[in-house]
Amino acid sequence: MENLLTEAELSFKKDVREFVNKELMPHVEEWESRKEYAKESVKKIADYGLFGIMVPPEYGGLGGTVTEYLIASIEIARASVSLASIFGSPAGIFTDAILNFGTEEQKKKYVPAVISGDMIACFAVTEPAAGSDAANIATTATRDGDEWILNGAKAFITAGDVGDVVLVFATVDKSLGTRGITAFLVEKGTPGFTVGKVEELLGLHASSAAELFFRDCRVPASAVVGEEGKGLRIAFASLDLGRIHVAGQAIGLAEAALEATLTYTADREQFGRPIGNFQGVQWMLADMSVMVDAANLLALRAARMADAGKDYGAAAAKAKLYAAESAADVARKAVQLHGGYGCTRDMPVERYYRDAKLIEIYEGTNEIHRAVIARSLRS
């Protein structure tokens, strides 16, 4: 990938890697072992300016590119996919939605606060009965004068238990189908807004995923983001960006797994020589390297298309699909080549293996991405 990056991008990548190695990597195992959202990482990432990577300078950001967002996602995921997950929403889908569809008042109130780390932001689409089928959202919003009353539940919301502001998608009229879905900003402490169960997930132990409940939760009309009934468009536009980010998570994990395995197979000896000298092992390592490079190329193409203002939905779906499946395969091979030690918590490849499975599911399952790609072939 390095050969395809500009000098400025290579310099940015070097700087981010140094930041990750110095400020995040030393704490990863401690944060992962606690099995709770690593709030300490929020301040570190915010202070370095990465939450504002794509935010215009007038709102306190760096005014960077989607390609730089991808680079940062990869570098943080090399340390921990949990931390990359924490990075993703405030740097990407939440701020992207507000900047592209919010009012000037909303932009000034939320964007600087989120990228500075003063507010933790959440993006709430998924529901118990509306995962892949986002159009099946059942959370309702009923107009009452100058207010909206929200009722419903959300599930698996990243940072839901610690979030200060949530972008919630609800339907104003179920009979309208997708044309009734509308986006609302709801702040922590709003009466009727509560947090439910925090899920115990297979991986991503330094992040969190929680249930959110809305029971006669009143928000002002000014809480609506974009046009009434255009919420699904906002969600899908932001999720295309999110898929590039999650592809970056997968790539960072796969790169870390490959590097750990190269080191281990060079040091581990059996039958009088390093196991990396055996052809069967070498071929597995070669396959892992090919998958990492191919995933990098697909993700970089999607990011370049986004930066060029082109329709990148299908490209993002391809990048996320291939990178996720590659990460799972690379992590599986990494555990296999570490042998029994790969199944212990002493080796990071055990964590990579668990995290890789989740990457195949969130931000659109692999099956949904295949459907998106197939649909693009007919258009």
Say how many C-beta atoms besides its own lie within 10 A of residue 284's C-beta. 18
Q: Is 363 a catalytic residue?
A: yes
Active-site position among 32, 68, 360, 363: 363
Cα 247–Cα 355–Cα 38 angle in degrees, nearest 5 = 95
Q: How far apart are CA 323 and CA 325, in angstroms?
A: 6
Residue whose C-alpha is closest to residue 76's, from 307, 251, 325: 251
Cβ contact 88:245 at 8 Å? yes
81-91 and 93-101 helices, crossing angle to 10°: 10
Q: How far apart are CA 248 and CA 71, in angstroms?
A: 7
Whole-Å CA distances, 56 to 127, 231, 238, 256: 32, 23, 17, 32
Two tokens, residue 223: 């809480």
Residue whose C-alpha is closest to residue 368's, from 242, 278, 284, 258: 242
- Active-site residues, by number, are 363
